[in-house]
Amino acid sequence: MAQDIAKIETVMCAAPVIPVLVVEDPQKAVPMATALVKGGLPAIEITLRTERALEAIEAVSKNVEGAIVGAGTVLNARQYDAAVAAGSRFIVSPGATKDLLDAADAHSVPLLPGAATASEVMFLLERGYERLKFFPAEQAGGASYLKSLSSPLAAAKFCPTGGVSLDKAPAYLALPNVLCVGGSWIADARAVASEDWAGIEERARAASSLNN
Ligand code: 3PG
């Protein structure tokens, strides 16, 4: 089954940046997401890298008006099912496997799978995926590398993530094959742990004012 492009673009085009979050304490998820939405970043990726990440997703999905909460670092079918059950509206993975794509076929919640090479992009295009995460963006070659994929693999449009910052985002957002970028700089684990909601909102506002 092909990717539902309109559905995943609702997430990718909601703002220029998707904040990528590592949340240890689900009680902090609601004020954190509220600050992000107030700052203009409604699409929020909570990674399944902490024990209570699913509770955090559930709390945001039930309590934060205007948020489009998704799950990141989803590596297999079991995590896909759990993330959907918790209320995720999109699913992000650093790569793609046949099993993960089969899991996506069983759900209406869309997948944004990761790719970093021409062959990985071609594998996903063959499976009907045209909206991808470029990961790890900076380490794999940055904006100039991604630009070089835009002509031979024109159907693929990306959300570069990994090492992206407020300073580095504009070079990606200017590319024809980029719809948005992702990154943890807006609300890193320390900002969330120390409840720096004002700082998170301020960084969200700066990120949401980038041109895309
Ligand atoms: C990740 O999955 O960790 C994201 O790519 C975020 O990367 P960053 O912390 O370098 O922004």
CATH code for position 99:
3.20.20.70
CB of 88 sitting under 6 A from ligand 1? no
- Structure confidence by residue, pLDDT tens digits, 144-162: 999 999 999 999 999 999 9
212 belongs to a structural domain: no
User: What percentage of the chain reaches a pLDDT higher than 70?
Assistant: 100
User: Which of 23, 41, 161, 185 maximizes ligand 1 atoms within 8 Å of its Cβ, making it the mutation to test the pocket?
Assistant: 161
- Structure confidence by residue, pLDDT tens digits, 75-101: 999 999 999 999 999 999 999 999 999
Give the angle subtended at the CA of 188 by the CAs of 184 and 189, to the nearest 5°: 130
Instruction: Answer whether 9's CB lies under 8 Å from 179's CB.
Output: yes
Strands 131-134 and 157-160: parallel
Q: How many domains does the chain have?
A: 1
User: Which of 44, 184, 186, 203 maximizes ligand 1 atoms within 8 Å of its Cβ, making it the mutation to test the pocket?
Assistant: 184
Predicted pLDDT of residue 212: 74
Residue 63 structural domain: 5-206
Predicted pLDDT of residue 76: 97
Predicted pLDDT of residue 135: 98
- Tell me if the bond preceding 94 is cis, omega within 30° of 0: no
Predicted pLDDT of residue 115: 98
Predicted pLDDT of residue 97: 97
Q: What is the mean pLDDT of the chain?
A: 97
89 belongs to a structural domain: yes
211 belongs to a structural domain: no
Q: What is the arithmetic mean of pLDDT over 173-186?
A: 98
Q: CA 122, 125, 131, 135 torsion: positive or negative?
A: negative
Question: What predicted TM-score, i.e. pTM, was given to this entire model?
Answer: 0.97
Predicted pLDDT of residue 1: 79
Q: What is the arithmetic mean of pLDDT over 129-141?
A: 98
CB of 23 sitting under 6 A from ligand 1? no
93 belongs to a structural domain: yes
Residue 208 to residue 97: CA distance in whole angstroms:
32
The set of long-range contacts for 187-196, using a CB threshold of 8 Å and a minimum separation of 24, is 187/19, 187/21, 187/32, 187/35, 187/36, 188/22, 189/22, 189/24, 192/21, 192/22, 192/23, 192/24, 192/25, 192/28, 192/32, 193/24, 193/25, 193/28, 195/28, 195/31
Q: What is the pLDDT confidence band of residue 211, given thresholds at 50, 70 and 90?
A: confident
CA of 22 to the centre of ligand 1 (A): 10
109 belongs to a structural domain: yes
